[in-house]
Amino acid sequence: MHNSSEGPGAAAARFTGLAVTGERRLSTALTEVTLDDGRVVMAKHGDAERATRAEAAGLRWLAEAGSVHVPAVHGRDARWLVMDRVVTGRPDAGAAERLGRELAALHASGARAFGAPPPGGPEDASIGLAPMRNVTGPDWPHWYAEHRVLPYLRGAVDGGTIRGAEASVVERVCERLPELAGPAEPPARLHGDLWNGNVLWGADGHAWLIDPAAHGGHRETDLAMLHLFGCLHLDRILDGYQDVAPLAAGWIDRIALHQLFPLLVHAVLFGRGYAEQALAAAGSALRS
């Protein structure tokens, strides 16, 4: 049994089987570790076993699709996840268009159900700092309402971030989801937390995806997340995606619907500014 006070270098050595020649701490959770063969890996500290388990399972599930670029996982336990480092370069329009095609292929590789966790991943996972339950539902509208929108609406109301009287606009969206959701689609294999901070532009000319909250969902959700905080060369990403797997008519009008989930997560975590954005997104979804 490994030592519970083990540091990042010792964890990297244990999972890679190589000696460590250097460490560079990047944040409270992340350390670059140099191995004696010259490679550099990332040791990420998890605050709970479910966090490292979910991230490792998500990265492996995305990698299994054979489309998007994600860091290889060397190993994980209750405290540490050790994976390859991505050497970053400059954002590139060609890489963005390739990412769009790769995302289309990732989504098409599918999931066993809406809400399904990655193989080996826990039901009780997380998105960023918030808990996220990966439990399945029979169709996307009902599952999205029950397991992605309403839990965070309740959390925001309980925390005083959204007033009780304001919640009704989000509840109306949930009631109308079957008609707002667009054509039925099969469960897609989602990254699940695809904001621009989780897209790294590699020095190798590829876009790399990190920090997934992977699960089976609707493919438009990943693309709506890319829109949420802005992403470099987003138009080229969408061009590449549409070349491979055209989106259903009206998808632009559904962006706000898919952004409701991450905005409510942010409202629970970070307060009133995001609550107002979530309420505005709900109103926009109802008008679409």
- Read off the pLDDT band of 4 (50, 70, 90): low
Question: Could you tell me the residue ranges of all domains in the chain?
Answer: 8-84, 93-287
Q: Work out the pLDDT band at 47, boundaries 50, 70, 90.
A: confident
- Write the CB contacts of 74 (distance below 8 Å, at least 6 apart in sequence): 12, 15, 16, 41, 82, 83, 84
Domain 93-287 has CATH 3.90.1200.10: yes
Phi-psi region of 69 (alpha: psi -120 to 50; beta: other; left: phi over 0): beta
Structure confidence at residue 251 (pLDDT): 97
pLDDT above 80: residue 226: yes
Question: Residue 1 above 50 pLDDT?
Answer: no
Which pTM value belongs to this model? 0.94
The pair of three-digit structure tokens given for residue 282, joined into one six-digit string = 């709900």
Q: Each residue of 215-225: pLDDT tens digit?
A: 999 999 999 99
Q: Which sequence positions are flagged as catalytic?
A: 193
pLDDT band at 270 (very low <50, low <70, confident <90, very high): very high
Q: 50 pLDDT exceeds 90?
A: no
d(CA 99, CA 237): 6
Residue 3 has pLDDT above 70, yes or no: no
Report the candidate in 139, 149, 200, 193 with the shortest Cα–Cα distance to residue 170: 149
* Structural fold of domain 8-84: Phosphorylase Kinase; domain 1 (3.30.200)
